[in-house]
Amino acid sequence: MKQTCYLNHIQAFMKNNLIVHCSLFILLLLAGCAVDERNNIDDVSESYQAVYITVTASVDEVVETRGIPVNAVSQMDDLGLFCSYSGDALWDYTSNIPDKIYNMMMVRNAQTGSWDYFDTSVPWDNATAADNYTFFAYAPYAKATNGIMVTSSANTAGIPALRYTVPSVVQDQPDLMLAVPKENIHPTGHPVDLRMRHALTAVGFMVYGYGTVTAISVTGVHVGGDLLMDGSNIVWSIASGSVTALDFTASILGNSFTVDSETPQNLLADDGYLMMIPQTLTEEAKVNITINGVTKALELHLATPQWQAGKKVIYSINLSPSI
């Protein structure tokens, strides 16, 4: 008798006949050198000459992974930098504005590993103990193709803000990262150390059992959101009306993947992770998978009620043969 494949419901509090289950893994946090929180102040002579603001970046807890997520600074190309100068007063989010540096592109020099200004370098205004500078950053730099847009201006007080709209082309979806703010830094001879943290949820898929998978996608999820550039407290505000019926199709290895094993296998190409907005999932959120020419839609909220920032969600799907 010819066998066909079917999918049961996503695992959620049941012990028998479970076909699809999901487990969460901590997504690569940005690691690297430890951050020196001390404000080292250099002596300033009367013949003071301009010293330019320089930057370093690090990524929390480098882990080995595949796909889009950035797990090392060497994978970063550019970032957007902001700086607010508050003089001899401590930075105040109700009044201070990022007009010292506003959304300036910093590019990583692949040869030296340093971060260079894409345009003109910016100097410290003064180099005394009374001067306070506060820095914010995000990466990668906003482009029309990656769905990132800065929504606050150089005259908007407080933490700069951005909006992310998930690109429909999976390869264009970025691993959006935010820096932990560096508040009230005094001019020193050392670079400003930016510690970057992941702001999105990386969604991936594994399969086991028997069958040939030719397509897999996610639909019915929010694809637009706003947040402040505060890597220490990543809080998304979901854009109104941003639920979409558009399929976000992950890239399958070889465009067709035949499963013939009870051992879970990663069927995604290296760019196959979906970089999605953290959110509470509803009944509309589904994973659509095509096996042996038949497409099945499975609800996601039963397995993962929430997608969280800085986490990787792996959906493991069992393709079980029927009689």
Q: Which range, of 124-128, 142-146, 316-320, averages the lowest pLDDT?
A: 124-128
Q: Which residue has the higher pLDDT, 90 or 187?
A: 90
At residue 143, the pLDDT reads 94
Quick one: 117 and 245 in the same domain?
no
At residue 64, the pLDDT reads 34
Name the residue range of residue 76's domain. Answer: 55-198
pLDDT at 131 over 70: yes
The closest of 43, 148, 134, 34 to 81, measured between CA atoms, is 134
Residue-by-residue DSSP string for 157-180: -SS-EEEEE--SSGGG----EEEP
Residue 144 DSSP code:
T
CATH code where residue 108 lies = 2.60.40
Average pLDDT (257-276) is 79
State the residue for tokens 């100097």.
123
Please give the angle made by the CA atoms of 227, 230 and 234, to the nearest 5 degrees: 60
CA–CA dist 43, 47 (Å, integer): 11
pLDDT at 199 over 70: yes
Quick one: 169 and 268 in the same domain?
no
**Phi–psi pair at 321, nearest 5 degrees:** -75, 140
CATH code where residue 215 lies = 2.60.40.2630
Counts for the chain of helices (H) and strands (E), in that order? 0, 25
The residue type at 66? R
Query: Looking at 176, 198, 220, which one is the last position of a domain?
Result: 198
Which tokens sit at 208?
Answer: 């086991």
State the residue for tokens 């989010």.
93
Largest CA distance in the chain: 92
Q: How would you classify the pairing of strands 177-179 and 132-139?
A: antiparallel
> Coil, strand or helix: which one is 129?
coil
Quick one: 61 and 187 in the same domain?
yes
Quick one: 209 and 194 in the same domain?
no
> Coil, strand or helix: which one is 75?
helix
Q: Which residue has the higher pLDDT, 56 or 298?
A: 298
Average pLDDT (49-78) is 52
Quick one: 59 and 194 in the same domain?
yes
pTM over the 0.75 mark: yes
Quick one: 240 and 307 in the same domain?
yes
pLDDT at 204 over 90: no
Residue 146 counted as domain residue: yes
At residue 151, the pLDDT reads 97
Query: Looking at 167, 198, 229, which one is the last position of a domain?
Result: 198
At residue 58, the pLDDT reads 44
Please give the angle made by the CA atoms of 221, 226 and 229, to the nearest 5 degrees: 130
User: Per the omega criterion (within 30 degrees of 0), is the bond before 140 cis?
Assistant: yes
